[in-house]
Structure 1
Amino acid sequence: MQTDTMTRRVEVPGGAGRAVRVRAGELVRIVDILGGQVGDVFAFAAGEQHGNEHHSAEHTRAVTSRLFPAVGEPFVTDRRRPILTLVADTSPGHHDMLIAACDPQRYAQLGVPDHRSCATNLWEALAAVGHPYTGPTPQPINVFMRIPVGDDGTLSWLPAPTEAGDAITFRAELDAVVVVSSCPQDLVGINRGAPSPLAVEVLAGQGRQP
């Protein structure tokens, strides 16, 4: 990774969301700046003809036969096209693709209807870059989120285990819009305390692999 050249860096404030446009072959590195922070990641194929094509957790699980891809494996869209590949992970390696993005309905049930949410962050970030997605909120790639599955099928909600500077890196396989939400959840213990910032770094990679 040391030979890749950073082209831009966007800081995502704690509890907020940001979108970046990336070209096929570029790398997208998500950095937990302070540690202990979950990020909801969404990826959409760029271009009006692909406006609703997005990363699909269920299609990805079918391709990889895993709950979350290993380094070198792809994330695919709802049209079964690779859109991202996991290329590096310096975090403890706990990530999730089972839990839906927090949304206004979730917080209303928790008694705080005006709380920020990852779903709201997604829609605001897409509007900011003019991406024409009109479908439902996709299942996110929940980086740094630790949701172990017990032998009896139960899920546990554990704090993100990351330390300051831990990162996960994807290679874009399509021109894409990538949205990162620094999850604002402070009522369930997945983040350690108040939401904290993430960084999105776009790097000039070595192109798509054959």
Structure 2
Amino acid sequence: MKTTKTEVPPGTGRAVRVAAGELVRVIDVDGGQVGDVFAFTGDFTEQHSVAHTRAAVDRLFPAVGEFFMTDRRRPILTLTEDTSPGEHDMLIPACDPARYAALGAPDHRSCAVNLREALAALDLSFAGPIPQPINVFMRIPVGQDGRLSWLTASSRAGDAITFRAELDCVVVVSACPQDLVRISDVRLSPLAIEIVHNGGTTS
């Protein structure tokens, strides 16, 4: 089956169009790199919603075989395969300029800006508030006391998480530029997006 691959350089974002039934794979090229994944319907009338997803699957974090729901409670993606340690987050919002201003770095790149720039590169735009992403390879365990821990990603070079598109959609992946809180490994590194067309498998 035909595949297409898009590199996401460190600290930047890229957007791809995915047809229903196709697979979209996010690859941690060098290991230890967190990515923010956003998904919108092709006409931008719906978007992936972590809140609706948690309500539908009764879980805080993603698991193979489960759906990701839109804000209209329709499946938009299904997690079909995960070769990483399986640590992904659906609690933390995308980093944004306000986050970095609070950390003393007001001119820092952010996943919120990456999202809008990636859409603009496809002549697309999204005017609404930044959705809460699926934070792939991000380790935010919840302790028994309810407190969150911010741990460094444990994903290895070549680890990947694969989704099947249930609707025609636009998927945006940001190789998170956060380097002030060590959620990624020693240095920021690239991600890659691989689309397997027609729902097939790579050859």
**Both structures adopt the same fold (TM-score exceeding 0.5):** yes
SS in 2 for 1:44: strand
Tell me which residue corresponds to 2:180.
187
Tell me which residue corresponds to 1:58.
51
Identity value in percent:
69
User: In 2, Cα distance between the equivalents of 1:128 and 1:195?
Assistant: 22
Calculate the aligned-residue CA RMSD, in Å.
Answer: 1.1
Deviations 1:101-139 (A, max 9, x none): 000000001001000000000011111112342210000
Alignment of 1:12 with 2:18, yes or no, is no
Deviations 1:140-192 (A, max 9, x none): 00000000000000000000001100000000000000000000000001011
Q: Could you tell me which runs of 5 or more consecutive residues in structure 1 were left unpaired when the two chains were aligned.
A: none
Out of 37, 43, 46, the residue aligned to residue 42 of structure 2 is 46
Alignment of 1:119-134 (within 5 A): 119-134=112-127
Out of 148, 151, 167, the residue aligned to residue 144 of structure 2 is 151
What TM-score does the superposition give when structure 1 sets the normalisation length? 0.93
User: In 1, Cα distance between the equivalents of 2:2 and 2:184?
Assistant: 28
Number of aligned residue pairs: give it.
Answer: 200
Q: Could you tell me which runs of 5 or more consecutive residues in structure 2 were left unpaired when the two chains were aligned.
A: none
CA contact (8 A) 1:23 1:175 kept: yes
Tell me which residue corresponds to 1:25.
21
CA contact (8 A) 1:87 1:171 kept: yes
Give the counterpart letter for 2:169 in structure 1.
A
User: In 2, Cα distance between the equivalents of 1:57 and 1:6?
Assistant: 30
User: In 2, Cα distance between the equivalents of 1:67 and 1:158?
Assistant: 17
Q: Which moved more, 1:129-138 or 1:20-29?
A: 129-138
What is the CA-CA distance between 1:69 and the residue it aligns to?
3.0
Alignment of 1:81 with 2:74, yes or no, is yes
What is the CA-CA distance between 1:53 and the residue it aligns to?
1.1
